[in-house]
Amino acid sequence: MGPLTVELRGGADLDHARTFLLEAGREELVAVLGRVAQTEYGLVFLAQEIDHAPEEMVWRDEDGLHWKPELTRRWTHRIEISGQGIVLLHGHSNRGKVRLSPTDTRTCGQMLEHFELAVPVQAHGYGVVGPDAIAGVFAWRDDRIPWTRLKTVACPIKIWFEAPPASLPPAPTMARQVAAISVEGQARMSAATIALVGVGGAGSMVADELAHMGAGTVLICEADIVKDVNLSRQEGAGPSNIGALKADVTAASMRHANPDVRIVVIPERFPGQRSFQILRDSDVIVSCVDGPTARHEINKFARRFLIPLIDVGATIRRDETGHQLQLITGHTARVLPDGACLECEGLTSPALREKERNGREVPYWEGEDAPGAPQIMSVNGVLASLAVTEVLRVVAGLREDWQTRHWRYEALEGELYAREPVAKGCDVCQTFGRGDE
């Protein structure tokens, strides 16, 4: 592993705080309170709260903004009580690369030492945001680590680095897509890391479409093998693949479509030790799993690590006689960390998980039917394509949207519609940004 990196990750409040710092017309100060998590490549500081420095506790002169000791005591008290870390941010308006001024550097050293003593188990930081880049330092276990990335997680995701990234021309194969989503949108797609949990019927289609659309990195988490019953709906699989890992078959199909896509196969069920560690570096998670318990675990993970989640599920049911189709329905839900989660939407619940543990079938509108239930490839395809379009919205930025979206597909009625937004507030929502805690 190379040098540690630090990403400051947050939702709508962090995005609004950054905008405030840059558009205030004078130097302002905000404190970001949250918790640190370790990833494969470094640290992520998960922003949970934003506190603006009160005007009566700051003053400005030719050297910049300063604050009174009362403000330091106020923030120190908050993090001591909560056990959170703290990051102090202000803005510089100059375009291109930004840096800490000499005054910033002196203040940074003093504040990091102070906060380290107050809450040594968390990371603390001091930084500056500019229109195009960020700069700063984090303290972690007596080390000083450069701040390398700021990510605000909404629709779309926005990312800033230490310097504006170089723009590479898109591949000629993406010309038609670039005409629709722009060069910048395609560059975001090519830079994205998308985690895919489950590559059965719908998941294998999601994977194939992501490859064709130029996704940069795809993490495939799947432990099952291909069986003969899977061949009617498994994209890229044929009789010769029976007995092979679904993840390996899917990876081969993706590479055939796009040799440039980077694929990491994690041959385990989520949450396993490897998947729980590596998926926290993903930009988006697409969940195509069978039951409410697995869906619940992914929902909690996405909320804890502030990762957008796109969840897919479908079921087909016949009447009690078995002679007539009664239900063909499904959902694609895009869950943003600031909005309602799958539990709020009724797609998971304690009752559903209890039914699953007791081995009873769970109807779709309360969760997934048991494995082995009827499936139709075209129904999976509708939901998978909708899910990939939602990935495109979140990553490439087709339109700004801060809400969770829950799409329902009623195939017998020929209807696809978005449900009305619901309010967040379940127990899972309370784990916002808590990482491993």
Q: Are 196 and 152 in contact (CB under 8 A)?
A: no
Q: Are 223 and 199 in contact (CB under 8 A)?
A: no
- Report cis status (omega within 30 of 0) of the bond before 102: no
200-209 mean pLDDT? 95
Is the per-residue pLDDT at 252 higher than 70?
yes
Residue 369 — pLDDT band, cuts 50, 70, 90?
very low
Rounded to an integer, what distance in angstroms lies between the CA atom of residue 437 and that of residue 431?
Answer: 9
pLDDT tens-digit map of 12-67? 999 999 999 999 989 999 999 999 999 988 999 999 999 999 999 999 888 788 89
248-270 mean pLDDT? 96
Residue 371 — pLDDT band, cuts 50, 70, 90?
very low
Sign of CA dihedral 351, 354, 360, 363: positive
395-411 mean pLDDT? 90
Tokens representing residue 377 in the block: 């490839």
**What does pLDDT average to over the chain?**
91
State the angle between helix axes of 201-212 and 246-257 in degrees (0 to 180), rounded to the nearest 10.
20
Residue 163 — pLDDT band, cuts 50, 70, 90?
very high
pLDDT of 2:
55
**CA 431-436-437 angle, 5° bins:** 60
pLDDT of 368:
40
Domains belonging to the chain, first-starting first, are: 5-161 (3.40.140.10), 172-431 (3.40.50.720)
pLDDT of 363:
43
Residues 6+ apart with CB under 8 A from 416: 382, 386, 407, 408, 409, 410
Q: Which among 297, 28, 334, 296 has a CA at the least distance from the CA of 153?
A: 334
Is the per-residue pLDDT at 383 higher than 50?
yes
CB atoms within 10 A of CB 63: 11
pLDDT tens-digit map of 84-95? 999 999 999 889
Q: What percent of the chain has pLDDT over 70?
A: 96
Q: Are 377 and 201 in contact (CB under 8 A)?
A: yes
Is the per-residue pLDDT at 98 higher than 80?
yes
pTM of structure: 0.93
Rounded to an integer, what distance in angstroms lies between the CA atom of residue 43 and that of residue 305?
Answer: 12
Rounded to an integer, what distance in angstroms lies between the CA atom of residue 437 and that of residue 416?
Answer: 39
Q: Are 214 and 185 in contact (CB under 8 A)?
A: no
Q: What is the dihedral of CA 398, 159, 86, 58, to 10 degrees?
A: -90
Q: Which among 421, 403, 420 has a CA at the least distance from the CA of 336?
A: 403
